[in-house]
Amino acid sequence: MIWIIVLTLIIILTIFISYLFIKNEKLTYYKMRIDKAEEQIEKELDNRYDIVKEVQKTIEKSTKKELKIYKDLDDLKNKKTISTIDYDNLLNELVDMIYLIENDYPKISKKKDFKETIIKLNESNTLLTADKTFFNENNTEIISLLKVFPTNILGKLRRIKILPNYEIKINEDDNY
């Protein structure tokens, strides 16, 4: 009789340990995907920063205005503790402003370097949207794992934090 109880406990313990192992592997899998997505997002945001800085002189020369948002962006970029989401939001503001300038100043939109910048920004938008979507999908999975027992304990032991999802802006001009 005692052997049956011991054997049953061993089987239950083995199943529970296997379950923990599987959940830990899932946490590792999604954490690696999130880290990779964050790396890609940061790389694309830095690329986007370079693109908007390239066109700064053209915009200020054509509009005869010094744009305060460029100074805000430089100040934010120089801070070491900037969150990627704040950086993304400020860059999105600046990109929106560039699109508005394109519409409001017809002369500037005809300049070759400005046209090239708009093309680069459109390509960057596509890549950034894909990276953010990938991040959000995997982040949603890890959040759902961290909300249930026992993966919530595994997550705390591994110091996995719940991260906010990125806002994904859909361009109304795209017809696909």
Task: Please check whether residue 21 lies inside any domain of the structure.
Answer: no
Task: Please check whether residue 100 lies inside any domain of the structure.
Answer: yes
Task: Please check whether residue 9 lies inside any domain of the structure.
Answer: no
Give the confidence band of 174 by pLDDT, cuts at 50, 70, 90: very low
How many structural domains does the chain have? 1
Task: Please check whether residue 151 lies inside any domain of the structure.
Answer: yes
Task: Please check whether residue 170 lies inside any domain of the structure.
Answer: no
- Give the CATH number of the domain where residue 98 resides: 1.20.1440
Task: Please check whether residue 53 lies inside any domain of the structure.
Answer: yes
Task: Please check whether residue 96 lies inside any domain of the structure.
Answer: yes
Among 99-108, 131-140, 156-165, whose mean pLDDT is lowest? Answer: 99-108
In this prediction, residues 10-27 reach a mean pLDDT of 93
Chain centroid offset of residue 19 CA: 31
CA distance 40 to 50: 15
Give the confidence band of 22 by pLDDT, cuts at 50, 70, 90: very high
Please, which residues have CB within 8 angstroms of residue 102's CB and are 6 or more apart in sequence? 108, 109, 114, 118
The region that residue 74 occupies, defined by phi over 0 for left and psi between -120 and 50 for alpha, beta otherwise, is alpha
pLDDT tens track for 5-15: 999 999 999 99
Total Cβ atoms within 10 A of residue 5:
9
Please give the residue range of the domain that contains residue 131. 26-157
Give the confidence band of 79 by pLDDT, cuts at 50, 70, 90: low
Task: Please check whether residue 60 lies inside any domain of the structure.
Answer: yes
